[in-house]
Amino acid sequence: MRRTDVVICLPQVGQERPRIGVVLVGGRSPLRVRWEDDGSEQDVVLDNQYKLAARHSLRYEWLLDPVAVGERIRADLAGAIIRSIEDGQVLDSRGHQDLLHVYGINLENATSAWKEATKRIAKRSDIRINRKKQYIWEPPAPPVGQLSPGTSATPEVEPEPAPIVQPEPESGTPANDQPPIEADAPEPEEGDPKSPGVDDMPQLADLIRQAAQAPLRTAVGLGRRSDSELSNLLIDLPDGQHARAAALLLPVPRDLPDAGRLGSAEVAETMLHAAADELHAADAEERVAAGWLLRRLAEAAVLTPASIASLARVIRAADAGPADIDAAVRVLAELLALTRPAETATVPLDVVVDAVSAMPLRPGSGRAAVIVAVARLWPDQVADTAWWRGASLTDVVDCAEGGLGGVTSLESVGERVIRPLVNAALVKAASRRALSHLLGLPAEFARQLPAGAVAGVFRRIGREDPTVAGWVAELSDTERADALRRDAAEAQKASAAATARAEAASQEAAGLLDRSERLEEMLRRDHDEAVGLRSAQERQIRIDVVRSLAELAAEVEELAADSTGPDVLIDRVRAMVAAHGLEPIGAAGADAAFDPAAHKPIAGRPAPGSQVTVLRPGYRWRTLDDVLVIGKALVVKQ
C-alpha cells in the first residue's frame, strides 16, 4: 500500500469534521492507522464509517467535503471521469459510470458524461486502453536532461505499480461488475520467447491433471492464451467431458465466452475445494483468479451445502471486487439456509465468520443474509460479537429495519451486541442532534439505553446547550411534581384505608355493645333460675355422673367376662362416652401433629405441628354452648 493512502473516518452524529489517518500496516482490512489529529493508532475495518482513499484524489476530496466537491463533479462530469483515471482508477466504461453513481449522479447523466469523456480521452496521448477495455493513465516520462539528480534514464528494476483505491459502492448503489485489476502486464511482442503459442499449448488431459492440484495456477497460465487457443480446447468434446474441461476456464482472470457452461455441482465443488487448498500459498495473480472463480460459481448457482467450508475459505483469501465478494457471500448464505438441522455440527462456523466479518454490514447484503441463516440454525451462536465485527450502531439499526429485525430483537443479541454499541454512542454523544438520534432508535435499541446514563448525558450536554438545559430543568420540575403527586396519591389511599378501618371498628363496637346487653339480660335470667335450680341440678349431675360411671364399669366387666377383644372393648367404651358428649382426642399408638391445646407431652417441648405419637387419648366434652377439654392426650415426640 502506498504511503499516500489514508483512511478517512466520516463524521458521526455530534462530530464536526472527518478524521484522517495514515495507513501504517494494511493490505487487507483491518488496517493499522495513525490519526493525524491526535497521533493515536487504531485498527480499523473498512465499512460505512471508515473509507480508504489516495490522498489528494477526487475521492479523497469528495469524502472530506461531499457538498462542495459534489457540486464541482456535477458541473463537469466528463472532467470528473478523467480526473478519476488520472487518480489511478483502473475501470472500464461501465465502472466509471458506476463511480459517478457513487457520487450521486443518476445513470442517464452518467451515460451522457461518459460519451463526452470519451471524446476528450481520444485526444489524450497519456491515457490508454488495456486488453480488458480498462482505461489507464500513463503520465509521460520527463526528458533525460530533466531527471532529478541521482536518477537514471533506464532504471534497473521497474517499480511495482501501486494498488488502485476503488471506492466501494454505497448502500443501494450498483457496484462495478469488474473485479479489481492490478496494473496490466505488457502485451508480449511478436517473436518474444516468453509469448505462448499454439504449438506449446499443453494437452487437455495434462491441463485437467494440473488443475486437480493447482486450479488457480493453471488458470493464470491459461489466462495468457488467446481466446481462440482456449476455444480450441473445448472443440469436439463429448458431452460427458465438456463440464470437466470447461471447469478449467472458471478461474481464468478475464472475460471468456465459454467460461459459463458449467452445469455439474460435482465438478464445481471439486474445483472449489482444490482452490481453497491452493490459496494457502497463492500469489497475487492466483488470488485474482480465485476472485474470478467466485464470480463464475455465483453465476452458475450449482454449489451444495457440502462446499460451505471451501467457499468461505476462498471468499476470505480471494482478490475480488466488493460486488463479486458480496455475490459469493450471498451464495454462502443460501447454502447455510439449505443446511439441514442434522448437518449443523459439520459446518465450520469459525471459517464462515472469518470470511464474512470483513464485509460491510448493510441492509440486503450477503453478510446480513448469512447472519439471518445463522440465527435460524444456530440461535445460540448469532450473539457472538464476531458476526457483528466492525459494524457500527448505524449499520445495525439500518439492517434491523431492512430484514434483520428478527435477529436484533433476540434478547442475547440485545445484551451482547446492541447494548455495547448504544452505550458507546451514549458516551460519545456531545450534541442535541446526537441525543435526539439515540432517543429515536428502534424499541429494541432504545431498551438498552440505561436511564441513569441518559439523564447524565442530558445534564452534560445541557452545560453547553441552552435548549437542552431548558429540557433538563423542565424534566426536573416534572419529576418533582410527579413525586409529589405520587406522595399525595399514597397519602389519599392511606387516609381512605384508615377511614374504612374506623367505620369497620365502629360497626364492630356497636355489635359488641348489643351482644353485651343481650348477654347481661341472659345472665340476669339465668341467675334467677340458677338460684332455685342450682341445688337440684348439682344433685342430678352427681347422680348422672355416678350412673354413667356405673354403666361404664358394668359394660367393661361384661365385655371382659365374654373375653371380648380390646378393639371391640374400645369401640363400645367410646360409643358409651360419646352418648354423653365426649369425643376422644387421638388414639393410643396413633401419630398426630402436635397441638398444645389438645396434647400434653410427657417429656420435652415439641414444636407445634411436629409429629408425635399418642400414648393415651384425651377427651373433649361438647355441650350446646361450648367445647371443653376434659383431659389432654399424652404424647411423646417422635
Rounded Cα–Cα distance for residues 58 and 507 (Å) = 92
Name the 3-class secondary structure at 447: coil
The residue that leads in pLDDT, 488 or 326, is 326
How far the first Cα of the chain sits from its last, in Å, is: 88
Range in 268-272, 500-504, 530-534, 570-574 the model is least confident about: 530-534
Amino acid present at 629? V
Q: Determine the average pLDDT of the residues in 201-230.
A: 77
Residue 112, classified by CB atoms within 10 Å of its CB into exposed (0-12), middle (13-18) or buried (19+), is middle
Q: Are 32 and 23 in contact (CB under 8 A)?
A: yes
Q: Which of 38-47, 378-387, 458-467, 475-484 has the highest mean pLDDT?
A: 378-387
User: If you ran DSSP here, which 8-state letter would residue 91 be given?
Assistant: B
Closest CA to 22 of 50, 3, 49, 1: 3
Residue 170 predicted with pLDDT over 50: no
Residue 1, classified by CB atoms within 10 Å of its CB into exposed (0-12), middle (13-18) or buried (19+), is middle
Closest CA to 232 of 248, 220, 217, 216: 248
**Four-residue CA torsion sign, 517, 523, 529, 532:** negative
The residue that leads in pLDDT, 630 or 212, is 630
Contacts of 58 (CB under 8 A, 6+ apart): 69, 73, 80, 83, 84, 87
Closest CA to 294 of 350, 230, 339, 359: 359
In this prediction, what percent of the chain has a pLDDT beyond 90?
Answer: 8
Phi, psi dihedrals of residue 496, rounded to the nearest 5°: -65, -40
Range in 104-108, 139-143, 204-208, 625-629 the model is least confident about: 139-143
Residue 262's pLDDT band (boundaries 50, 70, 90)?
low
Q: Determine the average pLDDT of the residues in 113-129.
A: 87
Residue 198 predicted with pLDDT over 50: no
Per-residue model confidence (pLDDT) at position 162: 39
Model confidence pTM above 0.85: no
Q: Determine the average pLDDT of the residues in 491-513.
A: 87
Per-residue model confidence (pLDDT) at position 3: 41
The residue that leads in pLDDT, 271 or 537, is 271
Angle (CA) 143 148 149, round 5°: 125
Q: Are 220 and 257 in contact (CB under 8 A)?
A: no
Range in 466-470, 474-478, 542-546 the model is least confident about: 474-478
Q: Are 34 and 27 in contact (CB under 8 A)?
A: no
Per-residue model confidence (pLDDT) at position 155: 36
**Grid cell digits, residue 284:** 497475487
CA dihedral 426, 431, 432, 433 (to 10 degrees): -80
The residue that leads in pLDDT, 127 or 240, is 127
Place of cell 439500518: 398
Per-residue model confidence (pLDDT) at position 201: 56
Per-residue model confidence (pLDDT) at position 154: 34
Rounded Cα–Cα distance for residues 313 and 263 (Å) = 22
Angstrom distances, CA of residue 484 to CA of 254, 477, 487: 77, 11, 5
399-438 pLDDT, tens digit per residue, is 888 778 888 888 898 888 888 888 888 777 777 777 777 7
Residue 428, classified by CB atoms within 10 Å of its CB into exposed (0-12), middle (13-18) or buried (19+), is middle
Residue 91: strand pairing partners = 135
Q: Determine the average pLDDT of the residues in 511-528.
A: 84
Rounded Cα–Cα distance for residues 429 and 100 (Å) = 34
